Amino acid sequence: MKKVLEKFIIPLISIAGIVLLDQWTKYLTILYVKDTDGFYIINKVLKIFFVRNEGMAWGMLQNKQVLFIILTPIVIAALVYFYYRLPFEKKYILARVCLIFLTGGAIGNLIDRVFRGTLFHGYVVDMIYVEIINFPVFNIADSFVTVGFALLIISMFFVYKEEDFDLLFGKSKKGVEKNENN
């Protein structure tokens, strides 16, 4: 039961939680903020307002919805593949959390692209604006993708070694050990 919990239930509940939180905040934004000038959480620092983003992060690649709708499921499949290729050891918990964050965020934004607007002309709802640094408007899914990616990159430099990830690309741990002994 512990293996089933660890391998399937916890990641699925975590991803569902990320997606639900993301979609709930987008729903509230459309319901209460869309036709307004928004409102400040912290005056002149953090503002909530509605932005229709037809691109990706920071508005890049505007109106390329077909590309996103095709590529996102491929990326999600790769993330799931990597998740299950990692050994279920304590050492890889951080990597798993990163993959869960990336998957949840990707699904959250994919839902928007497919179901908001018309098919292949959808958009993502963004709403969080950090005015003090004039940071591009983003949403909860973007936050999970950014944090997951940043933690993964940092962990690759400071936590994991190159050989820790060799098994993701077909090299077994035994093969790595044989190479180290030669």
Q: Catalytic: which of 22, 142, 164, 166?
A: 142
Q: From CA 163, how far away is CA 172, in angstroms rounded?
A: 10
Q: Catalytic: which of 35, 126, 164, 166?
A: 126
Where helices occur in the chain by DSSP H, the ranges are 2-4, 10-32, 65-85, 93-115, 140-158, 173-181
Q: Are 145 and 104 a contacting pair, CB within 8 Å?
A: no
Going across the sheet that includes 39-42, the strands are 39-42, 46-53, 124-130
Whole-number Cα distances in Å, 176 to 111, 157, 169, 171: 40, 19, 12, 7
112 is catalytic: no
Q: Are 132 and 45 a contacting pair, CB within 8 Å?
A: yes
37 is catalytic: no
Active site residues: 126, 142
